[in-house]
Amino acid sequence: AQKITQTQPGMFVQEKEAVTLDCTYDTSDPSYGLFWYKQPSSGEMIFLIYQGSYDQQNATEGRYSLNFQKARKSANLVISASQLGDSAMYFCAMRERSGNTPLVFGKGTRLSVIA
């Protein structure tokens, strides 16, 4: 079974609009962390935002926020005021339990911002 599911292969958004990228996860571990990475066309992986399973509040980092719904096991990324430079692949990832265990990634969503 997939640990991380991103159901939107591609999304379009108008510049300056907000967009939500979906991510659902599967774990029986009560302690886990959720991450979002951005991969522009140049190929590098850029960390955006983190949410811990015990965090009471939704994480925010500038124009990025995470809509964390624990009961639904969803961790959607919200990008506000989209910019042309936001066009990229976006990956949701999860780490279960503490320790230097690896991130497990979803298949990604390609976001295209239209002027």
Partner 1 sequence: DAGVIQSPRHEVTEMGQEVTLRCKPISGHNSLFWYRQTMMRGLELLIYFNNNVPIDDSGMPEDRFSAKMPNASFSTLKIQPSEPRDSAVYFCASSLGQGLYNEQFFGPGTRLTVL
Closest approach, Cβ 107 to partner 1, in A, equals: 4
Cβ contacts of residue 100 below 8 Å, gap of 6+? Answer: none
Tell me which residue of 78, 6, 10, 87 sits closest to 41, measured CA to CA: 87
Using CB under 8 A as the binding rule, whether residue 62 contacts partner 1 is answered as: no
Which residue, 37 or 113, is less far from partner 1 as judged by CB?
37
Using CB under 8 A as the binding rule, whether residue 52 contacts partner 1 is answered as: yes
**Six token digits for residue 12:** 């379009």
Binding site for partner 1 (CB under 8 A): 31-33, 35, 37, 43-45, 47, 50, 52-53, 91, 95, 97-108
